[in-house]
């Protein structure tokens, strides 16, 4: 019997799998990577050696209004480590600069005080100016043109009025943008909901290039890159983290070149060969990405890439914050025909008529049409989960029994402990 730890909330769940049935354990090499230095030193080194750009301190000279775009509570970015180093770099040459942290909520809810405290730490939260982006607050937004896709590009006014716009974040595989980080701080991070809807249309989500690990030819990425350039995103500091959310590498400099270098690093570590199986067990990497069902599309899409058609996906995720959005939940609540009805409705929606959160519903419906999905949680309403077309279990053992009841007791297993961290290849 092989015992595998599956991230769950702030802890782990143990899954015991018979050795003869286990096809493989798919993990990113990032989880076993030995960094060259400590976390803070890695960030300092990246800031001292920017890619395709002058140093941040040189860019900051003489700038009055500086905006630092930072990820929200749904991303495990170690801001408490990165932000003080960015501030020190700026203030070493420009102590009087007016600096604002702009929290890139994208289409998510606003971060709570507790979540900001967890992200920034007590000192930064007390001493620094922090503004939370609201994608529906028209007074805080400005229209700056059209996306390559034709959608309206509307960006946070504070960012557009900055003398220097920079961003901190992290790079990981992303299910339809290819990779997170870089340009994603702008779109969807600090744009209007109208712009997010145009970019996340059904046509693009269904595009063959809108997949994990792919940037070239990816229509969502093309829009995002254009938005970052229009916003004049001048400098980024993006980190790569391991399973313990510790920094293992850092990339700073030009928003496109530094991001590409980071993506290549992640791709080399995260790419693993598929091990097709009847039952695939995965997670969303634990907290903070397993707080709601909406975010589970990430872990589920990895499991989808190695699950046999008609097989079962088991995802361990606390979902303590519920479904993640009423507009998202509505897709399932108002579709008695389940995944087929949802998919048929979404694929009839043209690019200009995208409905909030349809992209997540589209991906989940795509997966549910091929697989049974069981969510393991003791922190979420099981009836709500069932309303969304999933099965629910309190424990991993209960889920395993349910899965074997569907595909048989001779089932094979593949385990992806952290479904967010891998790029599964053929």
Buried b / exposed e over 370-380, threshold 16 CB at 10 Å, is: ebbbbbbbeeb
Q: How far apart are alpha carbons 116 and 102 in whole angstroms?
A: 12
Is residue 108 annotated as a catalytic residue, yes or no? yes
Q: How far apart are alpha carbons 378 and 317 in whole angstroms?
A: 9
Contact indicator for 346, 287 with CB cutoff of 8 Å: no
Is residue 221 annotated as a catalytic residue, yes or no? no
Residues in the chain: 426
Catalytic residue, chosen from 133, 174, 221, 259, is 174
Pairing of strands 141-146, 152-156: antiparallel
Catalytic residue, chosen from 108, 259, 323, 371, is 108
Buried b / exposed e over 306-328, threshold 16 CB at 10 Å, is: bbbeebbbbbbbbbebbbbbebb
Bridge partner list, 298: none
Among 392, 402, 390, CA closest to 361: 390
Token look-up 């990113």 returns 28
- Torsion, Cα 286 188 174 351, to 10 degrees, reads 130
Q: How far apart are alpha carbons 209 and 220 in whole angstroms?
A: 9
Residue 140, C-beta contacts closer than 8 angstroms, at least 6 positions apart: 133, 134, 156, 157, 158
Among 70, 61, 68, 80, CA closest to 122: 80
Contact indicator for 154, 144 with CB cutoff of 8 Å: yes
Q: How far apart are alpha carbons 152 and 198 in whole angstroms?
A: 7
Enzyme catalytic residues: 108, 174
């Amino acid at each position: 019997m092989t015992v595998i730890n599956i991230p769950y909330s702030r802890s782990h769940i143990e899954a015991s799998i018979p050795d003869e049935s286990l096809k493989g354990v798919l993990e990113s090499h990032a989880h076993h990577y030995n960094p060259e230095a400590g976390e803070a030193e890695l960030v300092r080194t990246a800031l001292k050696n920017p890619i395709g750009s002058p140093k941040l301190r040189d860019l900051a000279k003489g700038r009055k209004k500086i905006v630092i775009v930072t990820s929200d509570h749904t991303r495990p970015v170690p801001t408490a480590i990165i932000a003080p180093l960015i501030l020190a770099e700026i203030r070493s040459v420009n102590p009087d600069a007016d600096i604002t942290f702009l929290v890139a909520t994208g289409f998510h809810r606003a971060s709570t005080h507790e979540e900001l405290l967890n992200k920034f730490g007590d000192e930064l939260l007390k001493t620094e100016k922090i503004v939370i982006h609201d994608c529906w607050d028209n007074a805080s937004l400005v229209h700056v043109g059209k996306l390559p896709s034709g959608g309206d590009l509307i960006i946070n006014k504070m960012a557009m009025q900055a003398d220097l716009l920079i961003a901190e974040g992290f790079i990981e595989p992303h299910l339809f943008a290819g990779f997170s980080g870089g340009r994603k701080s702008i779109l969807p991070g600090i744009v209007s909901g109208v712009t997010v809807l145009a970019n996340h249309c059904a046509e693009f989500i269904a595009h063959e290039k809108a997949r994990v690990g792919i940037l070239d030819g990816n229509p969502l990425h093309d829009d995002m890159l254009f938005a970052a350039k229009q916003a004049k995103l001048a400098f980024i500091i993006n980190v790569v983290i391991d399973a313990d959310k510790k920094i293992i590498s850092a990339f700073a400099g030009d928003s496109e070149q530094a991001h590409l270098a980071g993506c290549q690093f992640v791709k080399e570590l995260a790419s693993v060969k598929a091990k097709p199986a009847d039952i695939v067990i995965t997670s969303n990497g634990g907290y903070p990405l397993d707080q709601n069902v909406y975010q589970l599309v990430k872990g589920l899409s990895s499991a989808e890439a190695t699950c046999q058609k008609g097989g079962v996906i088991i995802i361990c995720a606390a979902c303590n914050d519920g479904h993640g959005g009423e507009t998202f939940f509505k897709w399932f609540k108002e579709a008695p025909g389940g995944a087929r009805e949802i998919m048929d409705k979404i694929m009839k929606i043209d690019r200009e008529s995208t409905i909030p959160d349809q992209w997540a519903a589209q991906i989940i419906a795509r997966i549910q049409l091929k697989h049974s999905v069981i969510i393991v949680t003791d922190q979420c309403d099981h009836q709500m989960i069932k309303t969304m077309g999933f099965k629910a279990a309190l424990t991993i053992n209960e889920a395993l029994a349910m899965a074997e009841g569907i595909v048989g007791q001779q089932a094979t297993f593949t385990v992806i402990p952290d479904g967010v961290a891998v790029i599964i290849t053929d």
